[in-house]
Structure 1
Amino acid sequence: MSKFTSRILLVVLALCLGGCSWFQKKIEEPIKDAATMYQEAHEQMASGTYDTAIKSYEKLQARYPYGVYAQQAQLDVAYSYYMTRDQASAITACERFIKTYPNHPKVDYAYYLKGQALLGEGGSDAFSSLITPLQPLEQRDPKGLEEAYDVFRQIITKFPNSIYEPDSRRQMKALTDALAAHELLAARYYLNRRSPLAAVNRAQHVIKTFPESASVEEALSIMIAGYDTLGIPDLRDDTRRVLSQSYPNSIYLAKR
């Protein structure tokens, strides 16, 4: 046997031994069951290591894609994304759960978490909100507020006995006030820019669309000023009467 052939045999033998050792090691590694994997991921989430928890939950779902642990893992992943302020991923995870398990006992929670994520809330601690403070609701994109409103509306409609129903109603009230206040900002802007017709139209929209909001009082006041600038005294006086009857102590009566 030549020296070259001997060297080849030695290399092959070394590879075989190494491979067998690796194979033996893989056999000896215990395969964790779904319950164990879920418990480990849940402990990571509970300790606030959300990024690590997300990876652990995803491993669980890849190995055991069916069953109660995989289902709960999807919800926990959504929550973990929410707590890291990755709102887009949280919303996507909630929507996936709702689509996959529309009759799940906890699907109302998926709706509720989606609504909170649409509001841009979340964060694992109070300090995170100091770093990236949230805008007041009325200053945000109204499209997102409208989407969140619709999600909370679905909760009270589809799940009237849900534990999230009372807070969903509270959120809807806050969103109604915010959307009305957003329109009022525009009406005020147009009035200050001497565009009375645009100001009146925006103020009318507040009154018609959000009649129960706190912005109606000022909206009436803006309409009075707008009609006065436009030279329409009849509509001005009619609106003033509505303001005085609806808000007899209004601070705007003296101004208008």
Structure 2
Amino acid sequence: MKLNFFAAIFMALTLASCAGTKAPDEQLVNTNQSAQQLYDEAKNVLDSGLYSRAIELLKAMEGRYPFGPLSRQVQLDLIYAYYQTGDTKQALASIDRFIRLNPNHPDLDYVYYMRGLSNLKADENSFHEFVGIDRADRDMASTRQAFDDLKILVSTYPTSKYAQDAKLRMQSIKEKLVRHELIIADYYTRRGAHLAAANRAKYVVEYYRDSPQVEQALRLMVESYDELGLTKLRDDAKAVLKLNFPDSADF
């Protein structure tokens, strides 16, 4: 009987303790504040650069007011905060969710801009960037996606205030992609895979013809075709090289 008595007391105390414990999100917000007051507090924290804390407050508000008039702005602020903390995986997930749920939102230009920036950041290696090592030889999947994201912004929202910066970033991305192709082509050349090298260089000439590195790509095509004994293709590539770069050194 005594055992049952103490067990009953313990259970009652446990239930009372659970009832008095708020969920983590509830502890972050003042229940006496309005939605606007809660958002203003979170926005002030965000503007102060305290991004991790801002994420906590914004998520708490999103949980409490998921369908309120400020819900979409909260989602946009979360995207920015995730990006600033370097959590590109969560930023991209939030961006894709926003686009899916708000296909006609007036701030979609900003969302695609942030998608491009987030994909760029996903490909960055802070150590190599810091010491100045060119990382064009790394996998470029996210960088290519970033280019596509910014292209959507520029083509769909040409008057957006983000369009000019997007164009500049696209040019920078394009040169990274060209370097990537030429590094791979050089890798093939050094291993005697001259046809693969020629195809990589040809891809640069066909799809990045405004790049200053096209001259290098054409020279690589000439050398590769020469190694393969493909004289017609070699001479055609050499003719294109001389036509567009008359000062290019002779082989």
TM range (shorter): 0.7 to 0.9
Aligned to 2:70: 69
- Partner of 1:138: helix, strand, or coil? coil
1:200 and 2:201 correspond: no
Q: Deviation at 1:97?
A: 1.5
Residue type of the alignment partner of 2:183: L
Matched-pair identity in %: 35
Is the Cα–Cα contact under 8 Å of residues 82 and 122 in structure 1 kept in the other structure? no
Q: What are the ranges of 5 or more consecutive residues in structure 1 without an aligned counterpart?
A: 1-10, 23-28
Find the structure with the greater CA-based Rg. Answer: 1
Residues matched between the structures, number: 229
- Partner of 2:70: helix, strand, or coil? helix
1:140 and 2:141 correspond: no
Pick closer, same or farther for the CA change 1:160–1:135 going to 2, 3 Å.
farther
Report 1:39-50 matches (<5 A). 39-50=40-51
- Superposed CA RMSD in Å reads 2.9
CA distance in 2, matches of 1:132, 1:88: 20
1:103 and 2:101 correspond: no
Question: What TM-score do you get using the length of structure 2 for normalisation?
Answer: 0.80
Q: Deviation at 1:130?
A: 6.3
Is the Cα–Cα contact under 8 Å of residues 84 and 122 in structure 1 kept in the other structure? no
Is the Cα–Cα contact under 8 Å of residues 187 and 199 in structure 1 kept in the other structure? yes
CA distance in 2, matches of 1:54, 1:122: 23
Aligned to 1:117: 118
Report 1:155-170 matches (<5 A). 155-170=153-168
Aligned to 1:172: 170
Is the Cα–Cα contact under 8 Å of residues 184 and 219 in structure 1 kept in the other structure? yes
Q: Deviation at 1:119?
A: 0.3
CA distance in 2, matches of 1:135, 1:50: 29
Q: Deviation at 1:40?
A: 0.9
CA distance in 1, matches of 2:218, 2:236: 10
Residue type of the alignment partner of 1:172: M
CA distance in 2, matches of 1:235, 1:217: 16
Is the Cα–Cα contact under 8 Å of residues 81 and 89 in structure 1 kept in the other structure? yes
Aligned to 2:4: none
Q: What are the ranges of 5 or more consecutive residues in structure 2 without an aligned counterpart?
A: 1-8, 21-29
Aligned to 1:243: 241
- After TM superposition, the structure 1 stretch with the greater mean CA deviation from structure 2, 195-204 or 137-146, is 137-146
